[in-house]
Amino acid sequence: MTEDGKITIPEPIRQHLGLQPGSKIDFRQLQSGEVVLVANEPKSESFFAKFLGHAGPGMSTDEVMAMTRGED
């Protein structure tokens, strides 16, 4: 730890938590007295979550039901 309280988080831990420069982290003290480091943001967005909302409004439920029933 440096004189001003900064610490270095080992690379394997940074990778495990998905930490990047600027990532937010929390230190939490457990009842046992242990202190744990917790990423304060999601690790990384899933592949599919990146595309959420990009396909446009799509069909309504009624339109989908009509299509599956073969109705025009």
| pLDDT tens readout for residues 10-50 | 999 988 888 888 888 999 999 999 999 988 865 556 677 76
Model pLDDT, residue 50: 67
Whether the pLDDT of residue 3 is over 90: the answer is yes
Please indicate, yes or no, if residue 6 is contained in any of the structural domains.
Answer: no
> What was the pLDDT predicted at 45?
64
Q: Domain range for residue 55?
A: 11-69
- Indicate whether 2 belongs to any domain: no
Please check whether residue 5 lies inside any domain of the structure. no
Does residue 54 form part of some domain?
yes
pLDDT of residue 35: 93
CA distance 11 to 39: 14
Q: What is the pTM of this model?
A: 0.49
CA distances from 53 to 13, 20, 50, 63 (A): 33, 26, 9, 19
**How many domains, in total, are found in the chain?**
1
- The answer to the question of residue 3 being in a domain is no
